[in-house]
Structure 1
C-alpha cells in the first residue's frame, strides 16, 4: 500500500533518520510533495501495519511488551542486589564487631590486664555459618 506521510513518520516506518529521508529525497530515491506547509514522502507499506502518531502500531505493541519485560527483569535485579547488599552489610558488621572486640582484648593485654572471656555467639554464627569452625 502506498501512502503519503510526513518526514518524521517516514523515518519511523523506514527505520532511518530524518536526515537520511531528506538526502534520499534530494537524490531522487524517494518521491516527495509539499501539501500546505508540510513536506510529504511517498512510502510503500504493508497492509498489516497501520501508522498511528508516526509509529507503526505493531511496533508500538511489541515495544511496550519488550519494555515491560525489561522493567520486570530490572526490578528482579534490583531486588536481588538489595538482598545481596543487606547480606554483605550484615557480614561486614559482624566482622567489625569481632575486630573491635579483638582490638580491645589486645589493648588490655598491652596494658597488662587479662581480658575477660566472653561467651558470645561464635564469630562464624554471626556470619551465618552453622558450625563454630571456619570453612577451609
Structure 2
C-alpha cells in the first residue's frame, strides 16, 4: 500500500525505529505502507503491539500491511504551544481504520474542519534522515 509522502525539515519527535515491539511499524512507513502487528499463530490483531497474543497465548507475531484509509472518530485542535517542536495550531485526530478494528492517532496541520465519520487517508511524513511517520489527511 503506498501513500503520499510529505517531506518535512524535521519530525517533532523521532521514533525509535529499532525497538522490537514497534520497529516494524516504522520500517513499513519507510516503504510507504501502514502496518499493524498480528499473531502468526491465530491471526489476531495485536494492537497495541504486545509480546504475547491475548487470544491464543502465541509468542510469534508479524507486521502486515493494512488499508491506509479510515474515518475520523474524534479530534481536537491544539492552539496553545507547549514546546517549540510543536508549532500551533494543529489538529490531533483519532482515526477508525477501514476493514480493521483498530484506531490510530495522528495529526493534521492547522485548524482542520472535520466531521465524525469524515474519510481520511494515510500520509507519510518523512524527515531528511529517512525517518518516516504515518499521519493523516482529509480525502478530497
- TM-score relative to the length of structure 1: 0.18
Higher helix fraction (1 or 2)? 1
Q: Which has the higher contact order (CA 8 A, sep 6+)?
A: 2
- TM-score relative to the length of structure 2: 0.17
Structure number with greater Rg is 1
